[in-house]
Amino acid sequence: MVRHMRRFAAVLAGTLAAALLSLGTAGSASAAPKPAPAGVEITGVGLSAPLRLHADTEPALVGAVIDQVNFLARTGMPAGPKAADLGPKYTVVVLAGDTPKQTYDLYPRAVGGPRVYRPAKQPDGRKTSAGWFLGRLSMSETLRTAGVPLERQLDTVSGGVGGGERVLPEDTLDPAKDLDEALGDLQRLLLLNVGVMVTITVGLAGIALLVRRRTR
């Protein structure tokens, strides 16, 4: 009997200990601080003070700005365009709350299309390689919508993952102009063919005449 009582007490003690441990774990989990909301800070030409956006108040804008740099590969091009071809520079710092985590230099008006430069030294101390990347075509409009003083670009449209597409110039969508050009090309081709045929015919006639005279 005593042995059974001792065994029951040991089991009861183990059960209570497990219950207390689970309560303590649950309490510590509920007391764990929530992760800081994401955000971005933008500085550059035309901005007298840093432009800060937080995901808890402006999630769409923050997501659009981060989308300009979240597709970069591990390795970029070692050299970018000439300094004179880069245009205005805007530095985007990705934040966790108020803590800077990543930084990128954006050039929305670079010759040949937007460019992104990722410095090797990052605020969070992570290891990465410096490199240049082709940016999304929607970069300029995204920054302008976020509050950067850039003129609106009518030759781009905002897009999804692909970053948008160039809009074709209106003259490329003119069927009458395309038809006129096609007919003009066809006419020039026919005239060229006629000229070639006339030259060949005259040449053959001359050869035939020469052969006829020699055979007499």
The distance from CA 162 to its chain's CA centroid, rounded to whole angstroms, is 6
Mean pLDDT of 185-200: 68
**Is 171 a residue whose pLDDT tops 70?**
no
pLDDT at position 57 is 92
For residues 145 and 177, the model is more confident at 145
Confidence label for 46 from pLDDT (cuts 50, 70 and 90): very high
Summarised one tens digit per residue, pLDDT across range 54-94 is 999 999 999 999 999 999 988 899 999 999 999 999 999 99
Mean pLDDT of 9-34: 48
How would you class 79 by CB atoms within 10 Å of its CB: exposed for 0-12, middle for 13-18, buried for 19 or more?
exposed
